[in-house]
Structure 1
Amino acid sequence: MKIVILAAGIGSRLGNPFPKPLTPLKNGKSIMQMMVENIDKNFSEHDVYVVVGFKKNSIMENFPQLAYVYNPYFDQTNTAKSLVRALRKCKGESVLWFNGDVVFDEKLLKNLRPHIDEDTSFVAVNTNSVGDEEVKYTLKNGFVDQLSKEVKNGLGEAVGVNFISKNDLSQYIARLEECGENDYFERGLELLIEKDNAKVKAVDISAFNCMEIDFQEDLDNVNKFL
């Protein structure tokens, strides 16, 4: 299995002059440092690809041990086009990937391990109330049906931790390539479900601390549980 961290974006909503994954937290670590440490405790940092773009050198200098994929169009494209660049490096493998602005409890990965071992594609979700900016999901016959910020009557939030089986990877790459420049990778999953009848589970991780940091309010809430 390979692991991908999406860290190419500008992260303008938080207002940092540096990449959002380098945002310092109350515990003295950055978002990405916490993520990499949690990954390495459960898997191996040698299996990690980081997709970089905005001020890429600052991330690479902080984490010289990781492998990198560069999205030169980071200011013109969204996560679908960043992710597909990394997935092309992972053919024949299953892939676990993270948005680079997610802070999560190390125990989360232990909880996800059985689902990873089953090699069944999944999206990690919670069942919290959600607003306009969150990626929401619905289910059909027990599997993910819709997955986007525009979903009506969503059951909760997709938290930015996802897994694609090696059996679905080639088709998912093709669907991401179909996506528009401004699409999120969730659109590729919707196309995979719709056009290839892929079965993507929603794994409820509501029992664990896991939050994407988009705004200062999110950062404040994360620092509270740290």
Structure 2
Amino acid sequence: MTLQTVILAAGMGSRLGRSLPKPLTALSDGRSIMQQQHDNIRAAFGSDARVTTVVGYRAETIVEAFPDASYVYNDRYDQTNTSKSLLRALSATGKAGVLWMNGDVVFDPRILGRAIELIEREQSFVTVNTAKVSDEEVKYTTDAHGFISGLSKTVSSGIGEAVGINYISRADKKAFMHQLTRVDDQDYFERGLELAIAENGMRLEPLDISDLYAVEVDFAEDLERANLYV
């Protein structure tokens, strides 16, 4: 299937303490974090899947490593958060639904295989892990119908964590983009999803991948954990 995918890779990733953009961090199997993302996308959706990457900090290093991808440049990468990077990418992908991921997630390739059914029926979703709920991570709650109602780092009584791999359907895209224009520069894209749920009635499904691995690499210990899987 042909699919629009977006990788958010504009940030400086300073917490990992490396000079290169975090997505270019080498894993123990010799690939970079971003290379395993490209490999997983191709394995699930084929070689014609379109990958658009949002770059900012040391953008040229990512472009050199992945010359065949499409790129969107966030020239305010040091002043904005993922909400504004994602808005730029969604604006560049037409009317189609979009699968997007944070550029620092090392994940089991089976996650995207599990997502295909939801993508094919154009159901917006957030991939979640219900096995742990850490205070510093983006957490979620659900409504009486099982759809996501709250999604943030400060949500109360979260029942799981967002993994950083998500899909917005063609039908929901316009409303989501409108909400991304409204949020603060320092907001994460999850704030736009929350507003679209509250104000536009968007139904966002949690895709549970608790039995598979997904590690968002922020610190050296996260990288060590990710290397146990690859």
Q: Which stretch of the first structure deviates more once superposed, 206-215 or 3-12?
A: 206-215
Query: Contact 1:46–1:66 (CA<8 Å) still a contact in 2?
Result: no
Instruction: State which of 212, 215, 218 in structure 2 corresponds to 1:211.
Output: 215
Contact 1:5-1:100 within 8 A present in 2 as well:
yes
Write the mapping of 1:1-226 to structure 2, written as runs, cut at 5 A: 1-43=3-45, 44=47, 46-141=49-144, 142-226=146-230
- Provide the aligned C-alpha RMSD in A: 1.0
Deviates more, 1:214-223 or 1:59-68: 214-223
Q: CA deviation at 1:208?
A: 1.1
Contact 1:4 1:96 survives alignment (8 Å): yes
After TM superposition, give the deviation of residue 129 of structure 1 in Å: 2.0
Q: Please list the CA deviations of residues 111-147 of structure 1 after superposition, one character each: whole Å capped at 9, or x if unmatched.
A: 1111111101000001022222211001012100110
CA distance in 1, matches of 2:180, 2:115: 24
Secondary structure of 2:27 counterpart: coil
Provide TM-score, normalisation by structure 1: 0.98
Tell me, in whole angstroms, the C-alpha distance in 2 between the residues paired with 1:92 and 1:204. 27
Q: What secondary structure sits across from 2:88 in the alignment?
A: helix
Among the aligned pairs, what percent are the same residue? 50
TM-score (norm 2): 0.96
Counting matched residue pairs gives 226
The question of whether the paired residues in 2 share the 8 Å contact of 1:179 and 1:188 is answered with: yes
SS in 2 for 1:13: helix
Please, which runs of 5 or more residues in structure 2 have no aligned partner? none
Question: Runs of 4 or more off by more than 3 Å in structure 1?
Answer: none
